[in-house]
Amino acid sequence: MTYCSDDLLNSNFYIIVVPTPIDSKNKPDLSCLFSATETIARKLKKEDIVVYESTVYPGVTKELCIPLLERVS
């Protein structure tokens, strides 16, 4: 479940900090990252800033999160 307060409506700077656990095959579970990204994307306005503070492998932000932000916002 994603928590989203009304304060998000007045924000323009977002920091996404979520766990990125790995499974028994050492594959990262990015579901929390994607859920938080979608939540923020629904509230984004032009010129807003999103910062990710989660341990992910190289390319996740550029290749997965940015396209998700663009698609949902």
Distance, CA of 69 to CA of 73 (rounded, Å): 6
pLDDT, mean of residues 53-65? 93
Helix (H) or strand (E) holding 34: helix 31-41
Per-residue model confidence as pLDDT tens digits over 15-50: 999 999 998 999 999 999 999 999 999 999 999 999
Q: Which of 31, 49, 39, 33 is nearest to 73 (CA)?
A: 39
pLDDT of residue 10: 76
Q: What is the pTM of this model?
A: 0.83
